[in-house]
Amino acid sequence: MIDQIAGKLGAVERAPVNGTTYEDLLAGVTRTLADTMRVARQAPDAFRLLIRDAQHEPEFADYAKEILARSVPISAQALAGIADPAIRRWTAEVIATTVDNAMLRWLELGAGRPG
Give the range of the structural domain holding residue 42, as residue numbers without chain letter.
2-10+21-108
- Can you give the pTM of this predicted structure? 0.74
113 domain residue, yes or no: no
60 domain residue, yes or no: yes
16 domain residue, yes or no: no
Model pLDDT, residue 30: 83
33 domain residue, yes or no: yes
How long a stretch of residues is the chain? 115
**Radius of gyration of the chain, Cα coordinates, nearest whole angstrom:** 14
More confident call, 99 vs 60: 99
Domain count, the chain: 1
pLDDT tens digit sequence for 9-36: 877 866 556 666 778 777 877 888 899 8
Query: Has residue 113 got a pLDDT over 70?
Result: no
pLDDT tens digit sequence for 29-62: 788 889 989 999 998 988 888 888 877 877 778 8
115 domain residue, yes or no: no
